[in-house]
Amino acid sequence: MKVCVVGTGYVGLTTGVSLAFLGHEVTCVDLDQAKVDMLTAGRCPIYEPGMEELLAEAAPNLTFTTSYADAVPGADVVFVAVQTPSADDGSPDLRYLRSAAESVAQALNNDFTVVVNKSTVPIGSGNWVDAILRDSFEQRADRPAGVEFAVASNPEFLREGNAIADTLYPDRIVIGSDNPRSLEVLNRLYRPIINQTFTPPAFLTRPEDVNAVPLVSTDLASAELIKYAANAFLALKISYANEIGQLAAKVGADITEVARGMGLDQRIGSRFLQPGVGWGGSCFGKDTKALIATAGEYNLEMPIVKAARDVNQRQRAIAVERLQDELRILKGRKIGLLGLAFKPNTDDLRDAPALDIANSLIARGARVKLHDPVASERFRTEQPELAAYLTSTIDELFADCDAVVLVTEWAQYLELDWSKFVGLMRTPIVLDGRHVLDADRMRRLGYRYLAVAG
Ligand code: UDX
């Protein structure tokens, strides 16, 4: 089938490259010429494991352009995957979505096109995009006859760092539309994934338990709400583990054991119960905020979602308090942060806990040192005022430190020969911000081991 993808951020790029890999003929539009040039040359503008390999495999079916006129005409499906950043009041800023929808309408010419909202959009945006498309299409002087289109929602559940696996082997595909023909077209588009009939890429074998993917075909509003409800649930699951972790610390329980014991109950599940400095990234913060904002439009409160956000923010403060309790005085102390990205396997720094922790330590007079195996380069550009604190080696980070905080659980950090660094520190205090280090082993090596919760 012929597919157009508007926007080559995490979601758009992964969608476009994966669909081209599956054999569809895909054109990705992005207004950023530099990005288009880079992708055309087979280089990936974001750090995402496997993306360049998949780009190479999908290349025969994949084109990048800055022109809607090159991409939209003839497409059976147009995915709109532009950014929807948070406005000041928490509601998503839909400027880019509006302008993308208008540009798509200017170029539609197929007898039937499904326009899919792939960006995380507020509930009701399907109708809104539909209205923009229709208005813009009606205003076209060169409007062709016999052109039909319908809007569908197909929310994305991919995690950064796992984007390709989450797309090719998803837990489910959700399609929302009030038009049966759209549901049929998208069902056909996704059939290779639903039935798992494609040959997996060499670098990403199919997990043994994946043989068919459930399809949730529903109405537009339900599909839009599924995305928010799922993300908010994951966010509050983590916050719940963190809240229990604070009680665990008081009563002398081990939160890691508690989370394991809870998670083995299949009704709860063990994933997203990892305690620590909490969630960051582009989705959980933005989506929980937007859910609260949408509920507010209907005079509804979302006390559980609000609490999940408060608990999450508190975890970052607790990391600093733990250091203060231990060191008594933070002024003049050297504190190293291991990891800046909001999670491993990405260079994404949006809402990263490390940023709040570093700023709060600096505000209290501490001297920070920062390290990340992948995100340093992006950090330098996006956080110029903190860039001077970056160290290029791990030895440099540990040298003379009064404490080191493991903020992002990169495999490189877990595999470190920790015995090497204990002697480099002024006081060998390690605060495990992700509850991933072996506390007994760290103590045997001579560290004073602290955890954020539990
Ligand atoms: C998330 C959703 O998982 C995905 O479905 C959605 O489409 C986009 O948002 P992402 O933000 O890429 O994906 O990362 P995810 O792996 O979900 O982690 C989010 C944050 O939660 C990270 O900061 C991570 O460190 C933290 N986390 C995750 C925990 O603190 N504990 C956990 O148990 C799991």
Q: What is the pLDDT along the chain (454 residues), one digit of tens a residue?
A: 999 999 999 999 999 999 999 999 999 999 999 999 999 999 999 999 999 999 999 999 999 999 999 999 999 999 999 998 878 776 778 999 999 999 999 999 999 999 999 887 888 889 999 999 999 999 999 999 999 999 999 999 999 999 999 999 999 999 999 999 999 999 999 999 999 999 999 999 999 999 999 999 999 999 999 999 999 999 999 999 999 999 999 999 999 999 999 999 999 999 999 999 999 998 999 999 989 999 999 999 999 999 999 999 999 999 999 999 999 999 999 999 999 999 999 999 999 999 999 999 999 999 999 999 999 999 999 999 999 999 999 999 999 999 999 999 999 999 999 999 999 999 999 999 999 999 999 999 999 999 998 6
3-state DSSP call for residue 429? strand
Residue 454 has what pLDDT?
64
Task: Assess contact for 293 and 306: CB atoms under 8 A.
Answer: no
283 is catalytic: yes
Q: List the residue whose alpha carbon is closest to atom 22 of ligand 1.
A: 279
CB atoms within 10 A of CB 269: 12
What token pair was written down for 363?
């505000």
Q: How many angstroms separate the CA atoms of 203 and 292, rounded? A: 40
Structural domains of the chain in order of their starting residue, each with its CATH number: 2-218 (3.40.50.720), 228-306 (1.10.1040.10), 315-451 (3.40.50.720)
Q: Which atom of ligand 1 is closest in space to residue 271's alpha carbon?
A: 33
- Name the residue of 343, 414, 452 to mutate for ligand 1: max ligand atoms within 8 A of Cβ: 343
Ligand 1 is surrounded, with C-beta below 6 A, by: 156-160, 231, 234, 238, 272-274, 276, 278-281, 283-284, 342-343
Q: Which residues of 127-144 are buried (b: 16+ CB within 10 A; e: fewer)?
A: ebbbebbeebbeeeeeee
Taking only the tens place, the pLDDT of each residue in 289-320 is 989 999 999 999 999 999 999 999 999 999 99
Q: List the residue whose alpha carbon is closest to atom 31 of ligand 1.
A: 274
CB atoms within 10 A of CB 411: 10
Q: List the residue whose alpha carbon is closest to atom 15 of ligand 1.
A: 159
Task: Assess contact for 29 and 66: CB atoms under 8 A.
Answer: yes
- Name the residue of 11, 164, 234, 313 to mutate for ligand 1: max ligand atoms within 8 A of Cβ: 234
> What are 174's strand-pairing partners?
216
Four-residue CA torsion sign, 126, 131, 137, 140:
negative
Among all chains, which residue has been given the structure tokens 């809607």? 68
Tell me the residue ranges of DSSP E strands in 55-192.
62-65, 77-80, 112-117, 148-153, 173-176
